[in-house]
Amino acid sequence: GDLDKVVNLLLSLSGRLARVETALGSLGPHAPAEDKLALREKQRLLVAQLEDAKELKEHVGRREEAVGAMVARYLPAEHLQDYQHFVKMKSALIAEQRELEEKIKLGQEQLRRLRESL
């Protein structure tokens, strides 16, 4: 459960950071300085939060290894392989799902901006 939360947090922060960077890139040279400053501050905070989340993921990874070692003592080899596969696939699928959701949001945002510019 913690791994799911951390993966979702990492993906959420990454997506938010990407949107802020896209917004910064789309600001024209005549954009108000306050807008640029606000976006740069938001970017700085998101980068710091992303670093914290990466450290949290490392901590959860160490805990996962400890739990895996404990589980290994009680499960036969074939069940242990199933458990390890489940944990890896669950994280990968959560990451893939979240990435696709972020791409959809980004695409919708780009489409909205394109429509507004027409």
Q: What is the pLDDT of residues 7-51, one digit of tens each?
A: 888 888 988 998 899 888 888 788 888 988 999 999 999 999 999
Domain identity same for 52 and 94: no
pLDDT value at residue 48: 96
7: left (phi over 0), alpha (psi -120 to 50) or beta: alpha
Domain holding 88, by residue range, is 77-117
The reported pTM is 0.66
Same domain, 9 and 37: yes
Q: Give the three-class secondary structure for 76.
A: coil
Domains of the chain: total: 2
Same domain, 16 and 58: yes
- The one-character DSSP state at 75 is S
81 in the same domain as 31: no
| Radius of gyration in angstroms for the set of CA atoms belonging to the chain, rounded to a whole number | 20
* Token duo for residue 18: 């990407």
Residues 91 and 113 in one domain: yes
pLDDT in the model for residue 39: 92
Q: On the CB side of 2, how many CA atoms lie within 13 Å of its CA?
A: 11
Would the pLDDT of 60 be above 80? yes
* pLDDT score of 55 more than 90: yes
